[in-house]
Structure 1
Amino acid sequence: MHSAKKLVIKVTAGADAPERCSQAFTVAAVAVASGVEVSLWLTGESAWFALPGRAAEFELPHSAPLPELIESIQAAGLITLCTQCAARRDITEKDVLDGVRIAGAQVFVSEIMADGVQALVY
């Protein structure tokens, strides 16, 4: 069985596709809890969850609360907001949750091309 050293997850869905969105955050949180190095990328509509308070507005029956998932991911993982997605939504570094970085495609590509990395897109 292949064992990834790092898991990079790109989530493109937000409140527009709540199940897909929740799955991405859940998988990231479970991976972190399992000791896997995780890098979660917020793109598209999920970009809004980089802002304080936005995750608390998200609801999906039978799923873990998004703020709790984000907290657990941040405890040992990295959350990145896509540069272009942030710009399209007028989100700047000063607007985002503590610990969230803003970076672009070049950083994403370098992360997913590294040895021992598995990548998922939701």
Structure 2
Amino acid sequence: MSKKLVIKVTAGADAPERCSQAFTVAAVAVASGVEVSLWLTGEAAWFALPGKAAEFELPHAAPLPDLIESVQAGGTLTLCTQCAVRRNITEDDVLEGVRIAGAQVFVSEVMADDVRALVY
């Protein structure tokens, strides 16, 4: 029986350790064969844009671009609709493979059978 992990990351450069933890857990889960859906909300929304992850620095942490690449290789990366609108981010602006979706999609993912959810 497969399980899915839905992770919502609300922190960005404003809380680097919490942000890095979310991306690290998501990447490790994908590498472990877990189906992962990583949601970028709040300040993490900026990481849906090309080049923004490369600006993120946290000593002794895996580079954020590498973690994003790992998540995208075996999971889903979603930018919150409202968070995108507040930051004037459109579908034309985001990294290839990033979807923009709202609360209804998030709720349907976390309410599905065999799903675990984490919020950072």
Same fold (TM over 0.5): yes
Query: What residue identity is the alignment partner of 2:91?
Result: E
**Are the counterparts in 2 of residues 16 and 45 from structure 1 also a CA contact under 8 Å?**
yes
Mapped pair 1:79 → 2:77: yes
What 5-or-longer segments of structure 1 have no aligned partner? none
Which stretches of structure 1, 4 residues or longer, exceed 4 Å deviation after superposition? none
Cα shift readout 1:26-84 (whole Å, capped 9, x = no counterpart): 00000000000000000000000000000000000000000000000000100000000
- TM-score, with length taken from structure 2: 0.99
Alignment length, in residue pairs? 120
Task: Measure, in 2, the Cα distance between the counterparts of 1:64 and 1:4.
Answer: 27
**Are the counterparts in 2 of residues 43 and 81 from structure 1 also a CA contact under 8 Å?**
yes
User: Which residue, 10, 27, 34 being the options, matches 1:29?
Assistant: 27
Task: Measure, in 1, the Cα distance between the counterparts of 2:12 and 2:75.
Answer: 20
Task: Measure, in 2, the Cα distance between the counterparts of 1:72 and 1:11.
Answer: 16
- TM-score, with length taken from structure 1: 0.97
Matched residue, 1:94: 92
1:4 CA drift (Å): 6.3
Q: 1:80 is paired with a residue of what secondary structure?
A: strand
